[in-house]
Amino acid sequence: MSLGRLIVVRHGETAYNAGDVWTGITDVDLTAAGHEAARQMGRLLGDVRLDRVYVSCLKRTTQTRDDLLDAHGGASPICKKTAALNERDYGEYTGLHKHQVRQRVGAERFLEIRRGFDTVIPDGESLRDVSERVVPWYLANVVPLVLAGQNVLIIGHGNSDRALRKYVEDVSDQAVANFEMDFEKIYLYEVGEDGRMLGAPEIRVILS
């Protein structure tokens, strides 16, 4: 049996994203642009059979899924939610504009908070914390499906997707600081039994 593919996307834009506000686990809706981007992702994946779709428990991923699948037009996949894919909890910085946090903590600390793997936020999570819930869930639930020939779409968040891709692409704790999970990119992987990628991913890009 041929391998399936792991497909990773980020939810569409929200008003918090557009306003440069740290959203975290705040449950906000997509903007009109976010809905349209999700539909474009569905059209870009029109040639890919989708067997299963996982989203977080936050509605911006569910809204992205619904728009994407509507535009995709293929057979209805099995859809499930999991808290393992929820966005990083930004603790006391949730809801603040990023410039407010930068002014409060300084530029160097701000960069560590945004990009560092082990940087802890008061009452929140580090990227390592996110990784420690995402990766075990992925290995237990997604890898067996892909190895069995299914195409599995994951619609996550900036940080849950970064944590997943860090593992899949075998990126170091230091190098993950340079990782960005863009709204307009779709990552398609073939993976081995350890869940790591086999060769470079195929990347499809929404054209603005």
Residue that is written with structure tokens 């959203």 in the block: 23
Give the active site residue among 11, 35, 72, 157: 11
Give the active site residue among 13, 72, 87, 125: 87
Residue that is written with structure tokens 């980020």 in the block: 10
Q: Smallest Cα–Cα separation from 97: which of 206, 15, 9, 198?
A: 15
Annotation marks residue 87 as catalytic:
yes
Residue that is written with structure tokens 């996949």 in the block: 77
> Which of 140-145's residues contact partners 24+ apart within 8 Å by CB, and which partners?
141/54, 141/82, 142/6, 142/54, 142/195, 143/191, 143/193, 143/195, 145/4, 145/51, 145/52
Q: Catalytic positions, please?
A: 11, 87
